[in-house]
Amino acid sequence: GIQVEQSPPDLILQEGANSTLRCNFSDSVNNLQWFHQNPWGQLINLFYIPSGTKQNGRLSATTVATERYSLLYISSSQTTDSGVYFCAVETQGGSEKLVFGKGTKLTVNP
Amino acid sequence: KAGVTQTPRYLIKTRGQQVTLSCSPISGHRSVSWYQQTPGQGLQFLFEYFSETQRNKGNFPGRFSGRQFSNSRSEMNVSTLELGDSALYLCASSYRALEGYEQYFGPGTRLTVT
């Protein structure tokens, strides 16, 4: 099956710093989503981004489907950005099943 | 629009018991998927339902089952609970976007098996 790899696994930043999280996937996909898992476990949608670039405030994401990777940029990080960021891909073939990476655990220190 | 809701939020069960978890999707979403999250295995797909039909099933034993009702609400059942079933169970509802489906997750049910 498709493999989804996220890097780095852990990231520690000082408040105000910028960061880039990467997601590589091993096969063509219909869709890619980025999520932030809050301390209570809920997955919060950040981006639905099968291709191209999107921005939402301090966050932006780029997916280059032909090269099978996506990047999540966080600028001017805040302590509330702490948590685990997941990349998930929807494989081709009619299934809505999402295959998740193992996540990047981000810690933003004040 | 209300988000995906899951009940109960927390549950403690004993080995050998069975459990039923419930999920109500976002209004208008007809597809519901279930995922299990554990520290060791991460987020894994359990099953997917659309219009009361199971369209896909993940690689889980038959003790895990689910169903979807005509109002799109879904339940999953785990019978003969094992310690390893302790996990966060997440439900997602989705709608057809331009490319693929966009999925929205509920807050999860945290199951502890003792």
Q: Percent of chain B scored above 70 by pLDDT?
A: 99
CB contact at 8 A, A32 and A25: yes
Of the pLDDT bands very low, low, confident and very high (cuts 50, 70, 90), residue B95 is confident
DSSP-based three-state secondary structure for B68: strand
Average pLDDT over residues B82-98: 92
- Answer whether A41 touches B (CB < 8 Å): yes
CA–CA gap between residue A87 and residue B44 (Å, rounded): 13
> Which residues does chain A have within 8 Å of residue B103's beta carbon, measured at their own beta carbons?
33, 45, 88, 96, 98
Closest CA to B39 of A2, A84, A32, A13: A84
Number of residues that this document lists for chain A: 110
What is the predicted pLDDT for the residue at B41?
94
What is the predicted pLDDT for the residue at B114?
97
Q: Least CA distance to B55: which residue of chain A?
A: A95
Shortest Cα distance, chain A CAs vs residue B49, angstroms: 10
- Answer whether A8 touches B (CB < 8 Å): no
Average pLDDT over residues B53-72: 95
- Answer whether A93 touches B (CB < 8 Å): no
CB contact under 8 A, A48 and B45: no
- Answer whether B43 touches A (CB < 8 Å): yes
> In this complex, which of A90, A95, A100 lies closest to B43 when CB atoms are compared?
A100
- Answer whether A88 touches B (CB < 8 Å): yes
Q: Is the peptide bond before A8 cis (omega within 30 degrees of 0)?
A: yes
Q: How many cross-chain Cβ pairs, A to B, lie less than 8 Å apart?
A: 73
Task: List the pLDDT tens digit at each of the 110 positions of chain A.
Answer: 899 999 999 999 999 999 999 999 999 988 999 999 988 898 999 999 999 999 999 999 999 999 999 999 999 999 999 999 999 999 876 677 899 999 999 999 99
CB contact under 8 A, B33 and A102: no
